């Protein structure tokens, strides 16, 4: 029952998200030896103004 929660910058298209969950589910099943039905993935879009690395919001990086 792997549960995979992913934070990524907002802006990905539905097609990219679809390909992403397909690929992640496939690799998870291959490596962890589980059934696809057991894999849950939740995607969370994050704004660049809500993510900081090194103390700087990505919306302010140059």
- Give the pairing type, strands 40-46 and 3-9: parallel
Q: What is the separation of C-alpha 4 from the centre of its chain, rounded to a whole number of angstroms?
A: 8
The answer to whether 2 is a known catalytic residue is yes
Asked if residue 62 binds a copy of itself (CB under 8 A), the reply is no
Asked if residue 18 binds a copy of itself (CB under 8 A), the reply is yes
Cα separation of 45 and 48, whole Å? 10
Residue 62 CB, nearest distance to a copy of itself (Å)?
14
> Which residues are at the interface with a copy of itself (CB under 8 A)?
1-9, 12, 14, 16-28, 30-32, 36-37, 39-46, 49-60
């Amino acid at each position: 029952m792997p549960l995979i929660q992913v934070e990524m910058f907002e802006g990905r298209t539905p097609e990219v998200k679809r390909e992403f969950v397909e690929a992640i589910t496939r690799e998870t099943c291959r490596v962890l030896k589980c059934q696809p039905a057991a894999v849950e993935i939740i995607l969370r879009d994050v704004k660049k103004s809500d993510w900081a690395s090194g103390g700087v919001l990505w919306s302010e990086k140059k």
